[in-house]
Structure 1
Amino acid sequence: MSKPILTIVVPCYNEEEVLPETVFQLSEILDSLITDQLVALGSTVLFVDDGSKDATWSLIERFHLSNPFITGLKLAKNAGHQSALLAGLLKAKAYSDCVVSIDADLQDDTSVIREFLVKFHEGYDIVYGIRQDRSADTFFKRATAQGFYKLMTSLGVKIQYNHADFRLMSKRTLDNLEKFQEVNLFLRGLVPLLGFPSTQVYYDRKERFAGESKYPLRKMLAFAFDGITSFSVTPIRLVTVMGFLLFALSVVAAIYAIVGKLLGENVTGWTSLILSVWFIGGVQLLAIGLIGEYIGKIYKEVKQRPLFVIEKELTEQAQGQATVTSQASQPASARR
C-alpha cells in the first residue's frame, strides 16, 4: 500500500487554553508518522471551530500561518459536537485517504494514532479507540456510562463499548457515511452500520490537559437520550406494552369491584383510587412526551435544514500562506 494522506479532524469549542498544546502534540505525531513513512507529505490537522466565543479561531489562524500542518474550518454558529465533527470529516475526505477524529482536550492518547495507521496498513477501514477501563472516573460517571452502553446493546443498537469518537476511518467509509440522510446525528451508532472491516485499539484515557469539560451531566443525558431515540423504537414499544398491562390490570380491578358489589362488601379505597389516577396520568404524560420526541425527530428530518454553515475555511497553499474563503453549506438533500 502506498503512503496514505492522513487528516486529523479536531472539533473545538472554547478551547483556547488547551489548543497550543494540542497543536504541538498533533504536529509532533504527524511529523513522526511522515518520517517513518506511515503517512504521506501533505497530511494535516483540521481544526473545526464550532462557534467558539473565546480566542479559539484566532489561535487556529495564527498556527495556520506558522505551522504547515494546521488547517481550519470556522462554523458560523455553534452546531454541536457531532455536526462539527461531521463537517470536518466530510471536508477532509475530499483530499485524504484516511481520517482520524479526536477531541481537542487531549484526554484521548495521541500516541495511539500510530497504532491506528498500522491497522489501516493491515487493511482495516475503521479502527476504534477503546478505553482500557474507567477506574479514573467517579462511581456515578462510570455507572451511568456502562449503563448507557448496556442499554443501547439491549435495544439492538450496534455500538462499540467504551468508545467515544476517537477513531480512524478510510476514505471509502466516509464516502458511504455521507450517503446517510441523518439530521439527528449519533456517529457512534452510524459508523458501525457501515459494515467495513474494523478493529479496535485499546488505550488509557488521560485527565483533561486544560480548560473545562464541554459535556456536563445535562448534556451527557441529552446526548444519551438522542442516541437511544435515534436508533431504536423499543422505548415507544415499551409504552405500548405498558398500556396493555395497565388495561389488563384495570380489567382485573373492575372484576374485583363488581364481585365485591354483588357480595355486598363495601369497596373501600379512596387512597388506592387517587394513587391509580396519578399513576395512570403519569404514564400517559410519559407516553405523550415520548411520542412527541419521536415526532420532533421526524419534524427535523423532513425539513432537511443544513447541519452546519461554514463561515471561513483555511486551506494550505504551496507557499504556506493562508487562504480564507466564505461559504454556506448546502441543504442536507443536496450535500448528500
Structure 2
Amino acid sequence: MGDSFVGARSEFGFAHSNGGLPAISVVVPCFNEQDGLDELLRRVRLSVQACFAHDYELVLVDDGSRDGTWARMQAAASADPHLRLIRLSRNHGHQLALTAGLAAAQGALVFVIDADLQDPPELLGPMAETLRAQGADVVYGLRRQRKGETLFKKLSAAAFYRLLSRSADIDLPLDAGDFRLMTARIAKALVAMPETDRFIRGMVAWIGFKQVPFEYDRDARFAGETKYPLREMLRLASHAFMGFSMLPLRFAAQISALLFAIMLIVIVYALVSWLFFDVISGWTSLMILISFSSAMQFAVLAVIGEYVGRIYLTQKARPLYIVDQVIGLAPAALADLGRGQRSPLNAGIWPGPSEQAR
C-alpha cells in the first residue's frame, strides 16, 4: 500500500496520514431499504467496532428512496455521530449512488457493502487482515454461492461475467460484485474517473495496484425485494460491455465479414449458373438476401449509434448526481462530494450548516 497510510489506530494498523480523519469509511448505497436499515446499522456497527473501535464513519446514500428510508436514516443519525447521510435528488442508480458515497468518504480504508445484507458485514475483519497481510490495495469479495437467487439469475450472472472477462481489455475477476475493501487512493482515483455510464467493479480493476480475492458465500436478502430486476441487470451489462469491451463493435465487424463471404459465394453461384445452366434467377432468394443484409446493416448502425450516444452524453458533462441534502459531513467531505458532483456547492442544493455537521 502507499506511503499515505501511517500510524496504528486499530488492531490492523491502518490510519490516515492526516490526523482527525477516520481509519475506515463504510459506504452503503440505499434505495427503499426502510425495513432492513436498522438491522444493517446494527450489524455494520458491531463489525466495524470489533476491528476499528470507534475510529470509523458510516456513509449512507439515499438514492431517491420512495419509502421511509431517509426518515430512518435521520433518526439513526440523531443518536449516532458516526453517521454521514447523503440524499440524492432522485433515483440515479446504484453505481452513481455508490460514487457519491465514495466521493464523501474520508477514511484511510473504504468498505463498500450493499444495504440488503446479502454480503455479510462480519467479513470486514478477515478482509482487513487479508489486505494487511498481502499488502494489497483492494480485497474484493468472490462469490462461491448465491443464496436466495433464482436459477435464471445465477445462470445469467455466470454467463455475463465469463463473457465479459473473455472479451474485456483488462483482467476482470469472475463472480465479483461491488462488495470490497479498498484503500483511499483507490476510492479517490475511482471518483476522479470521468465516466458517466459507470461499472464500478470494472473501473476498480482498470485502476490496477494489487487486488486480491476473498471467497465467501452470499446470503439471501434480509428484507424487501431486489433492486436489480431484469431491466437493471441488462442496463448494468450494457454499461459493462460498452465501457470495458470492444465486443459489440468487433461482433459487428465479424458479421460484416460473414455477409461479405456469403455475397462472394452467391456471386460465384450466379456466374456459374449463368455460364453453364439455363436457369432463371428466383426473386425469393434475392429478397431473402437483401432483407438479411439490410437487417444486419441496421444492427451494425444500432451498435455504432449506441457508442455515439454515449460519447454525446459524456461530452455534455452533466453532473453524475445531484445532492438534495447532507447530514454530518465535514467541510472536506462536502468539497469532495461537490467535485464528484462536477458542480460547485450552492445554497440551492446544500442545506444550512446546522445539518452539515453537528
Q: Is 1:124 aligned to 2:136, yes or no?
A: yes
- Tell me the equivalent position of 1:166: 179
Alignment of 1:56-95 (within 5 A): 56-92=69-105, 95=106
Opposite residue 202 of structure 1, the aligned amino acid is E
Q: Is 1:28 aligned to 2:39, yes or no?
A: no
Partner of 2:277: helix, strand, or coil?
Answer: coil
Percentage of matched positions with identical amino acids: 34
**Long gaps (5+) in structure 1:** 36-40, 318-324
Distance across 1 between alignment mates of 2:343 and 2:31: 27
**Long gaps (5+) in structure 2:** 1-6, 10-14, 16-22, 345-358
Opposite residue 234 of structure 1, the aligned amino acid is L
1:315 to 328, 331, 334: 328
Distance across 2 between alignment mates of 1:273 and 1:86: 53
The CA RMSD over aligned residues, in Å, is 2.3
Displacement after TM superposition at 1:202 (Å):
1.2
Q: TM-score, normalised by structure 2?
A: 0.83
Distance across 1 between alignment mates of 2:221 and 2:342: 38
Partner of 1:178: helix, strand, or coil?
Answer: helix
Partner of 1:182: helix, strand, or coil?
Answer: coil
Displacement after TM superposition at 1:256 (Å):
1.1
1:147 to 159, 163, 172: 159
Distance across 1 between alignment mates of 2:82 and 2:111: 14
Displacement after TM superposition at 1:148 (Å):
0.7
Preserved contact between residue 68 and residue 316 of structure 1 (Cα < 8 Å): no
- Tell me the equivalent position of 1:297: 310
Preserved contact between residue 81 and residue 328 of structure 2 (Cα < 8 Å): no
2:107 to 72, 79, 96: 96
1:302-331 alpha-carbon deviations (Å, 9 max, x no partner): 1111101112111168xxxxxxx9999458
Preserved contact between residue 103 and residue 340 of structure 2 (Cα < 8 Å): no
Preserved contact between residue 98 and residue 171 of structure 1 (Cα < 8 Å): yes
- Tell me the equivalent position of 2:25: 7
Once superposed, which parts of structure 1, at least 4 consecutive aligned residues long, lie more than 4 Å away? Answer: 325-328, 330-335
Alignment of 1:131-210 (within 5 A): 131-134=143-146, 137-156=149-168, 157-210=170-223
Preserved contact between residue 311 and residue 328 of structure 1 (Cα < 8 Å): no
Partner of 2:55: helix, strand, or coil?
Answer: coil
Distance across 2 between alignment mates of 1:309 and 1:315: 18
CA distance change for structure 1 residues 238 and 331 in 2, over 3 Å: closer, same or farther?
same
Partner of 2:221: helix, strand, or coil?
Answer: coil
Distance across 2 between alignment mates of 1:52 and 1:135: 25
Displacement after TM superposition at 1:180 (Å):
1.8
Preserved contact between residue 257 and residue 267 of structure 1 (Cα < 8 Å): no
Opposite residue 25 of structure 2, the aligned amino acid is T
Displacement after TM superposition at 1:139 (Å):
2.7
Preserved contact between residue 51 and residue 75 of structure 1 (Cα < 8 Å): yes
Q: TM-score, normalised by structure 1?
A: 0.89
CA distance change for structure 1 residues 332 and 209 in 2, over 3 Å: closer, same or farther?
closer
Preserved contact between residue 167 and residue 247 of structure 2 (Cα < 8 Å): yes
Deviates more, 1:173-182 or 1:268-277: 268-277
Distance across 2 between alignment mates of 1:21 and 1:331: 29
Deviates more, 1:116-125 or 1:95-104: 116-125
Alignment of 1:253-332 (within 5 A): 253-315=266-328, 329-330=338-339
How many residues align structurally? 321
1:250-305 alpha-carbon deviations (Å, 9 max, x no partner): 12202211221222332454443333233222211211111111011111111111
Preserved contact between residue 27 and residue 69 of structure 1 (Cα < 8 Å): no
